[in-house]
């Protein structure tokens, strides 16, 4: 292993092609001041009032580590520009901090005249020019415990560009051309405002912007601990400094967002074996193919561990970091080499297959330690952790705002004066607009009632008539576990279908015998069934297998848990929800939306979204979902998913080909679209230039592929819910949730981009989380912002199965569900297709996708 460790390469740089960001995003449009009802909105966004003319100096820091190689030569690795992620990146930052601490000891210029703000990587910011602006030294002792460590090198010098910034340079931090924005002041301020938190001994910082409290006295957020996995929760606050529009018409302003964080953590530096012992069913002779081991494996896959054995023992943060891929064969069944040939203590226990810079290696579990500060992912939650964490985070708006303000002050992010030149003001209040609600029409133009005073939420509505487009179901089967059929269920469903305008025949009853699901599909395919309707108890956990077989046999399915099916006899709403889904799967439309913004049949609306799930294995590809109104009615959405390699740009490789498929389908049903609107969800600001330049070209290329002269108008909008902004309605002095349809498009948005925050759905529990939308590109300069906002809002009402708006416009909401389905099908088929030991994405998509299936032109995932 030591020989392999010598060759670690951290900072390989790839040729990224032409520089992006030199073309401006869509020109700023006037805000919406008329369409809707005005409302007062409170925020967690604080203005930073900065003393004028305050200089901020930036210095470049370079930290190199020198390691010896077996052949007597040396390798130099720059830690200060580490491109690694997660634990490895945190370790590299800790190494830089160690060397910087040594610089402080050696040089008086770094001990006096401060304060100094080091980002633990390649930048040092000061409020005064250093007396000595060039520092260089080597250090050997007290830096690293690695056996082949030789020395660390430290170099500090002036930055050639942006050496000096001032507090007057706020407007330089933003630009319609992203690459032309000078972020020096923002970078400095993000480090500086965290200074009190870094100095607070009651605070642990994860990354550079999330600060957790050690002692939470006075914070009314309960903490959780879990015996299995030795998990524990922590509470803190994240912060981000941004340049926003503000209220000064002549200049933008700096603002800081602080958001409460309730997070679940794995234990720090604990032997992996001790963690495994905490799980129910664990024994020291457990095999990896036993259900108990598979359950524990799910909780451990993706964890970072270090080797704690032989020359690596006790290295901890200086050790070799590896990621757990899976549990593998027992030690006695595995061939591996240990430096001193010591036999493993537990020969009959599964080993752990890890992946790191050393490649894939099987290691006995007792030789591994968990790395610190690792958050628990959703995929690692095997009990009720996810539900519990949602409850912890789901504080009512008044409590959340009060708690966030309390934590921000305790951490040190809400000081009246930071280092004498930054005043953190109270959270700002802004004016929002509640957009008009669309009309919801059932058959015969019978309108649903919105703002019903009897409804729990003002945007919930009830069935007002028969389905707008009701379908026929004449050849279908209802599938039970043999001996567990529910008498009378079919009659209830058929009657509900007929009551809502569908033509429905009684189904054939068929049964799953001894778990044989595939025979049900073979028989259903032979009988040319329209639908297989499964009714099974949740304990059988057949859902993933059913959906994988749906894809394989191109045969539409609907699954209802038997526990839910029992309720249809006494709960009309349950009965309706089930049949709503059936009609949509068959190509129906339960209701139509009446709206001047969403009433253009010639407009194609497309959504791209990914759940970032990969079938439960970090080596699997990512499933990207897409959806579009490409069927015979412009308010019907359908779509699918595409598997892509893990990459920073997960959408780019598929935009053109996917859009070609969508355009062909749309043309088949409704003719060529006159204009196209594309939403991309989960996109960061750093990718705006990519969407503006590369993705817009993909759209043009897709249109020209169909017809060289085809030049429809098109618009690209980015959306995200990963921001830290929290917005609340101020209602006669009380803090409550925003009403669905509320938008804010001024003051707390970018001064150079078209942005708006949108609360589309009612919060069923906790506090509303708005979606942030950014207009990236458009060929329709005259289209007003209010129309895009209203269209986006109306799209949230088009779910068709639940009778209320959802949290994203439907093309994105449905695309997200398709993304999850893709991950599920991938997992059920045990991963992607490999050709000559290389992942074959083309074959994987052909074999496991819906692109060539008849179901592609249905909303099969309703």
Q: How far is it, in rounded angstroms, from Cα 533 to Cα 32?
A: 47
pLDDT of residue 458: 81
pLDDT of residue 5: 33
Residue with the two structure tokens 């509900």: 496
pLDDT of residue 10: 35
The helix-helix angle for 696-706 and 655-670 (nearest 10°) equals: 50
Per-residue pLDDT reduced to its tens digit, 242-298: 999 999 888 899 999 999 988 999 999 999 999 999 999 999 999 999 999 999 999
pLDDT of residue 311: 85
Please report, for residues 60, 577, 660, the alpha-carbon distance to residue 763 in angstroms, rounded to integers and kept in the order given. 46, 20, 37
The helix-helix angle for 841-848 and 810-828 (nearest 10°) equals: 100
Q: Do the Cβ atoms of 25 and 753 come closer than 8 Å? A: yes
> How distant is the alpha carbon of residue 471 from its chain centre?
36
For β-strands 164-166 and 55-68, DSSP reports them as antiparallel
Token code pair at residue 339? 């430096």
Q: Write down all domains in the chain, each with its CATH number in brackets.
A: 55-166 (no CATH), 270-371 (2.170.260.10), 470-583 (3.40.50.2300), 592-724+773-857 (3.30.420.10)
Per-residue pLDDT reduced to its tens digit, 509-557: 999 999 999 999 999 999 999 999 999 998 898 999 999 999 999 999 9
pLDDT of residue 11: 37
Burial of 793 (0-12, 13-18, 19+ CB in 10 A): buried
pLDDT of residue 626: 97
Q: Do the Cβ atoms of 149 and 65 come closer than 8 Å? A: yes
pLDDT of residue 228: 96
Q: How far is it, in rounded angstroms, from Cα 600 to Cα 620?
A: 40
Give, in degrees to the nearest 5, the angle at Cα 516 between 512 and 521. Answer: 80
Q: Do the Cβ atoms of 29 and 788 come closer than 8 Å? A: no
**What sign does the CA torsion over 127, 128, 134, 135 have?**
negative
Exposure string over 484-494, b if 16+ CB within 10 A, otherwise e? ebbeebbebbb
Burial of 285 (0-12, 13-18, 19+ CB in 10 A): exposed
pLDDT of residue 1: 36
Q: Which residues contact 141 (CB under 8 A, 6 or more apart)?
A: none
pLDDT of residue 337: 57
**Regions in the chain scoring below 70 on pLDDT:** 1-17, 161-162, 336-343, 357-358, 612-616
Cα within 13 Å of Cα(562), Cβ side: 17
Residue with the two structure tokens 């099908």: 825
Q: Which residues contact 291 (CB under 8 A, 6 or more apart)?
A: none
Burial of 112 (0-12, 13-18, 19+ CB in 10 A): exposed
Q: Do the Cβ atoms of 542 and 517 come closer than 8 Å? A: yes
Please report, for residues 1, 67, 281, 485, the alpha-carbon distance to residue 70 in angstroms, rounded to integers and kept in the order given. 12, 10, 44, 70
Please report, for residues 23, 56, 244, 373, 603, the alpha-carbon distance to residue 175 in angstroms, rounded to integers and kept in the order given. 10, 21, 12, 36, 31
Q: How far is it, in rounded angstroms, from Cα 642 to Cα 848?
A: 9
Helix ranges (DSSP H) in 527-571: 543-553, 562-565
Question: How many CB atoms sit inside 10 A of residue 788's CB?
Answer: 22
SS3 368: strand
Q: How far is it, in rounded angstroms, from Cα 365 to Cα 473?
A: 55
Q: How far is it, in rounded angstroms, from Cα 703 to Cα 701?
A: 5
Q: How far is it, in rounded angstroms, from Cα 608 to Cα 816?
A: 8
Exposure string over 129-148, b if 16+ CB within 10 A, otherwise e? ebeeeebeeebeeebbebeb
Question: How many CB atoms sit inside 10 A of residue 815's CB?
Answer: 31
């Amino acid at each position: 292993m030591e020989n392999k460790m010598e060759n670690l390469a951290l900072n390989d740089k790839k040729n990224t092609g032409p520089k992006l960001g030199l073309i401006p995003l869509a020109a700023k449009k006037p805000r919406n001041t008329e369409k809707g009802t005005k409302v007062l909105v409170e925020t967690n966004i604080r203005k930073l009032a900065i003393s004028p003319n305050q200089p901020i100096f930036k210095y470049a820091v370079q930290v190199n580590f020198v390691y010896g190689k077996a052949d007597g030569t040396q390798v130099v690795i720059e830690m200060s520009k580490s491109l690694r992620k997660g634990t490895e990146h945190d370790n590299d930052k800790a190494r830089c901090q160690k060397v910087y601490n040594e610089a402080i000891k050696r040089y008086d210029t770094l001990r006096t005249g401060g304060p100094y703000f080091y980002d633990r990587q390649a930048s040092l910011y000061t409020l005064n020019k250093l007396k000595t602006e060039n520092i260089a030294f080597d250090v050997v002792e007290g830096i690293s415990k690695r056996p082949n460590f030789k020395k660390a090198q430290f170099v500090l010098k002036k930055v050639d560009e942006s050496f000096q910034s001032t507090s007057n340079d706020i407007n330089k931090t933003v630009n319609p051309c992203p690459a032309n924005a000078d972020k020096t002041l923002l970078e400095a301020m993000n480090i500086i405002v965290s200074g009190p938190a870094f100095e607070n001994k009651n605070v642990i910082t994860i990354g550079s912007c999330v600060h957790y409290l050690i002692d939470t006295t006075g914070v009314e957020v309960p903490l959780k601990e879990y015996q299995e996995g030795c998990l524990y929760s922590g509470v803190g606050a994240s912060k981000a400094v941004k340049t926003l529009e503000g209220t000064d018409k002549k200049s933008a302003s700096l603002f800081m967002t602080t958001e409460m964080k309730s997070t679940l953590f794995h234990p720090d530096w604990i032997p992996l074996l001790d963690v495994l012992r905490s799980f129910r069913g664990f024994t020291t002779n457990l095999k990896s193919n036993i259900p108990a081991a598979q359950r524990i494996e799910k909780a451990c896959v993706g964890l970072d561990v270090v080797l704690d054995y032989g020359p690596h023992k006790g290295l901890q943060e200086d050790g070799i970091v590896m990621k757990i891929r899976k549990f593998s064969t027992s030690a006695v069944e595995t061939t591996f080499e240990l430096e001193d040939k010591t036999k493993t203590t537990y020969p009959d226990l599964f080993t752990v297959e890890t992946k790191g810079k050393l490649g894939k290696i099987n290691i006995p579990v007792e030789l591994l330690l968990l790395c610190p500060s690792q958050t628990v992912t959703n995929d690692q939650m095997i009990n009720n952790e996810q539900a519990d964490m949602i409850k912890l985070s789901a504080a009512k708006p008044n409590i959340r705002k009060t708690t966030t303000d309390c934590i921000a002050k305790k951490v040190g992010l809400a000081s009246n004066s930071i280092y004498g030149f930054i005043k953190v003001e109270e959270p700002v209040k802004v004016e929002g607009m509640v957009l008009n609600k669309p009309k919801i029409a059932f058959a015969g133009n019978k309108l649903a009632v919105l703002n019903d005073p009897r409804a729990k939420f003002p945007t919930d509505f009830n069935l007002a008539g028969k389905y707008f487009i009701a379908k026929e179901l004449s050849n279908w089967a209802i599938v039970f576990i043999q001996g567990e059929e529910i008498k009378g269920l079919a009659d209830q469903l058929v009657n509900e279908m007929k009551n809502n305008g569908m033509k429905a025949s009684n189904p054939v009853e068929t049964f799953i015998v001894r778990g044989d699901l595939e025979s049900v599909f073979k028989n259903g395919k032979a009988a040319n069934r329209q639908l297989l309707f499964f009714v099974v108890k949740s304990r059988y956990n057949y859902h993933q297998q059913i959906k994988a077989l749906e894809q394989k046999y191109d045969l539409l399915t609907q699954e209802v848990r038997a526990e839910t099916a029992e309720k249809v006899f006494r709960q009309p709403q349950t009965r309706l929800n089930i049949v709503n889904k059936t009609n949509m799967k068959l190509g129906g439309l339960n209701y139509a939306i009446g709206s001047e913004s969403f009433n253009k049949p010639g407009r194609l609306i497309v959504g791209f979204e990914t759940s970032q799930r990969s079938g439960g294995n970090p080596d699997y590809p990512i499933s990207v979902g897409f959806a579009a109104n490409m069927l015979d009615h412009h308010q019907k959405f359908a779509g699918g998913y595409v598997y892509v390699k893990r990459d920073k740009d997960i959408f780019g490789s598929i935009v053109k080909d996917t859009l070609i498929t969508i355009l062909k389908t749309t043309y088949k049903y409704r003719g060529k679209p006159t204009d196209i609107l594309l939403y991309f969800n989960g996109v960061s600001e750093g990718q705006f230039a990519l969407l503006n330049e590369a993705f817009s070209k993909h759209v043009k290329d897709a249109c020209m592929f169909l017809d060289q002269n085809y030049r429809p108008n098109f618009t690209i909008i980015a959306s995200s819910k990963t921001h830290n902004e929290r917005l609340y309605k101020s209602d006669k002095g009380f803090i409550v949730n925003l009403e669905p349809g509320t938008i804010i498009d001024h003051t707390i948005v970018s001064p150079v981009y078209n942005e708006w925050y949108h609360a589309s759905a009612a919060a069923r529990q906790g506090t509303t989380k708005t979606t942030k939308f950014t207009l990236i590109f458009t060929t329709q300069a005259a289209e007003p912002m209010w129309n895009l906002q209203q269209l986006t809002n109306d799209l949230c009402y088009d779910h068709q199965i639940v009778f209320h708006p959802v949290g994203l416009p439907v093309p994105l909401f449905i695309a997200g569900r398709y993304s999850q389905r893709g991950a599920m099908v991938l997992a059920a088929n045990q991963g992607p297709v490999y050709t000559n030991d290389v992942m074959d994405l083309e074959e994987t998509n052909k074999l496991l996708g819906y692109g060539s299936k008849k179901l592609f032109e249905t909303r099969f995932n309703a």
